[in-house]
Homo-oligomer: A and B are copies of this chain.
């Protein structure tokens, strides 16, 4: 399938390295960005520039989108000169943004009406995963569309799992983000209580990793927590967006998410205090501020 031409829309911190990986795998690549400077590295790698999303679609076999939120996806798909205005039967549309499952299902329905395949395929693994092509990709849509897209996904990620029909990729991603947020919260509460109670936080993590409390968050974000280094990583703003998606889905489906709702509020608090662009491990500071104790430091008066 590497003789296919891929149209790629959304060339930000995630999309750009992903598009580059596809180009380097031999795919034809047509790109568009409102900010032309953004696409220069891609043009140097042999991509072609289009003048609008609509032109990207008409010049490609497969359209991949990697946008910031539901609103951006809606405007790129349904806007004037947008994706859905340009599709032709047989095209494959893959939205890899993390968005509301309802929008994903609406794209799938519109694509089906136009005789196209559509997949929702949000990822985890961050900009490092995008660059190294080690993303986890959670795919919702038909099995046939999934098999058709698989060679593309294999250039972008390592864990590639079809989880169900249209929209379920977004549901799985939202669920993943619930666990990550609540694990950061769990580790934060444990570290603040333990440190305030006289135990060195690094020693505590060693204890936790020895048993049922062990988790990947401590492996990957443990240093950030211990050093209060909240350079992202994965931004509070984005994690708050993701929990909003989870809570909206839960409301629609009638699901009870008490701890998610609570941590969502804490992320709101962090954003309000100016930490929206900090790493999500900054959740620790919400617990510290409520406790008047910073882990690993003598207590405040």
Contacts and interface: CB of A to CB of B under 8 A. Distances in A.
Interface of A: 101, 124-125, 136, 138, 158-159, 161, 163-165, 167-168, 171-172, 174-183, 185-187, 189-194, 196-200, 203-204, 206-208, 210-217, 220, 246, 249-250, 253-260, 262-263, 266, 286-287, 289-293
A181 B259 CA distance: 12
Name the prevailing secondary structure of the A interface residues: helix
Contacts of A204: 163, 172, 175
A291 B253 CA distance: 9
Contacts of A203: 161, 163-164, 172
Contact of A293 (B167, B200, B254): B254
B259 A163 contact: no
A196 B259 contact: no
Nearest to A162: B203
Nearest to A210: B159
A273 to B, nearest CB: 15
B193 A253 contact: yes
A210 B158 CA distance: 9
A200 B262 contact: no
Given A171-B198, A199-B163, A290 B178 contact: no
B183 A213 contact: yes
12 contacts: A159-B211, A164-B203, A175-B194, A175-B197, A176-B212, A181-B186, A182-B185, A189-B258, A196-B255, A256-B287, A257-B287, A258-B262
B211 A254 contact: no
Nearest to A213: B179
Q: Which of A189, A208, A212, A263 counts the most B-chain CB atoms under 10 A from its CB? A: A212
Contacts of A182: 182-183, 185-186, 189, 259
Contact of A211 (B168, B176, B266): B176
A103 B183 CA distance: 30
Q: Which of A185, A186, A191 counts the most B-chain CB atoms under 10 A from its CB? A: A186
Given A175-B208, A215-B179, A260-B189, A197 B161 contact: no
Contacts of A163: 199-200, 203-204, 207
A186 B246 CA distance: 13
A259 B257 contact: no
A189 B197 contact: no
Contacts of A260: 189
A139 to B, nearest CB: 10
B168 A193 contact: no
Given A164-B199, A253-B193, A210 B101 contact: no
A172 B194 contact: yes
